[in-house]
Structure 1
Amino acid sequence: MPVPVNPFKQALSAGETVFGCWLGLADTFSAELMGTAGFDWLLIDGEHAPNDLRSILAQLQVLAASPSHPIVRVPVGETYLMKQMLDAGAQTVLVPMVESAEQARQLVRDVTYPPHGDRGVGYSLTRAARFSRITDYGTTADAQICLLLQVENRKGMAALDDILAVEGVDGVFIGPADLAADMGHMGNAQHPDVQAAIMDALRRIKAAGKAPGILSTRDEMTNDALAAGAQFVAVGADVLLLSQYAQALARKWIPRD
């Protein structure tokens, strides 16, 4: 019995565009709620949200009943973390701050079983293999793992073409906030120089045969990214949705001086 098909990876391979939302509340109840909203994918954030292995596992479990595909962003691209997230059942992972082809190649090895990779072979104990029920997990898992790399500073952008040449990378996500900061425009990802760099990168990613990704909460930027070839596009974050609506509701009913 082989592993289930990864619908997110399948969609990217077919050239489809899929829309998602960030999950930063680090809570199973809110994750389950977001799973009913209709997004193609939801990203469980292990970098900037208060998540750990157990909270990420719990969110993977509740999203299993959802039509939204779960993506896990690890806090850093360390081999042991990649192993833990994959064994917990994540089929798609996003790795932040990728700056070189060498780093990209190691990440490919991290998500690949021997003899071609370094992923530990202990799947009989894991949720990923349905606790030994997926008998062919070891021979079929690699093909369904989707590796997304996040390029988000000038060093990474300078190495982008080399990163794109690494076989086994499925997509590259451009991080607007960190890139803006590294370019000297902290808090202003809309600066023309930052936007030009982002759109150029998305076009290069697409031309290299990889799937380009972006997070944008502004319709104008989202449309520009789509025109540049973006395929996996986050259009919001649960934290922002709750915070912004709560503030607007409070302003509506509570007078301010």
Structure 2
Amino acid sequence: MKRAHGDYADTGVGPYIARANAEVAVMVQIETREALESIAEISAVEGLDCLFIGPQDLSTVIGHVDASWSDEMKRVFEKIAQAASTAGKAWGMQTTTFDQASYAVGQGARYVSCASDIVMLTDRMGEVPRRIREEHLN
């Protein structure tokens, strides 16, 4: 099977399926007050591989609307990271900028999502008209 999911190697279906099954990870997303309050218990779940932080949703539900990367939220992220580390689990988070991704990696994140489809689409869709206006209409 020479396709992207097989690194373009001609491995055949059987070896591909074996590799894919061996690389499955179980992650839970931490984005509610209840999850934050139960973080030690969640981290200790057998078979769980990774805690994943949804910073925007988590900050909103705990009362920090539009402040998902404030110093207070960073302390919350660090609490989650510590719980994961104590339980021997990986942790990661959603980021949208280099600085956010760099912060997460610097704190020990092993899984970082560095964009979203909506952000990529809207940024790109806004870039073309903006540049046309700047370069051709001014």
Task: Report the Cα distance in structure 1 between the residues aligned to 2:53 and 2:46, rounded to whole angstroms.
Answer: 19
Alignment of 1:42-57 (within 5 A): none
Instruction: Give the equivalent residue in structure 2 for 1:157.
Output: 36
* RMSD, aligned CA: 2.7
Matched, 1:244 2:123: yes
In 2, distance between residues paired with 1:253 and 1:161?
Answer: 52
Aligned residue among 127, 132, 138 for 1:253: 132
The CA deviation at 1:207 is 3.0
Partner of 2:114, secondary structure, is strand
Name the structure with the higher helix share: 2
Q: How many angstroms apart in 2 are the aligned matches of 1:151 and 1:181?
A: 12
- Partner SS state of residue 173, structure 1: strand
CA distance in 1, matches of 2:118, 2:67: 19
Q: 1:205 maps to what in 2?
A: 84
Change (3 A) 1:206 1:240: same
Report runs of 4+ in structure 1 exceeding 3 Å deviation: none
In structure 2, what is the equivalent of residue 235 of structure 1? 114
Match status 1:66 vs 2:4: yes
Unaligned runs of 5+ in 1: 1-63, 70-129
The equivalent residue for 2:75 is 196
> 2: CA distance between counterparts of 1:233 and 1:179?
16
Letter in 1 for 2:83: R
**2:63 paired residue number:** 184
Counterpart of 2:29 in structure 1: which amino acid? Q
Deviations 1:183-229 (A, max 9, x none): 21223212221122012312321232111011111222222211211
Q: TM-score, with normalisation over the residues of structure 2?
A: 0.76
- Higher percent of residues as strand: 1
Task: Name the aligned partner's letter for residue 183 of structure 1.
Answer: I
Map Cα deviations across residues 41-88 of structure 1 (whole Å, 9 max, x no partner): xxxxxxxxxxxxxxxxxxxxxxx922599xxxxxxxxxxxxxxxxxxx
| Seq. identity, % | 25
Bigger radius of gyration, 1 or 2? 2
- Letter of the aligned partner of 1:191 in structure 2? S
The residue type equivalent to 2:31 in the other structure is E
In 2: Cα distance, 1:150 partner to 1:224 partner: 19
AA matched with 2:38? A
Matching residue's letter, 1:232: Y
Query: What letter corresponds to residue 82 of structure 2 in structure 1?
Result: R
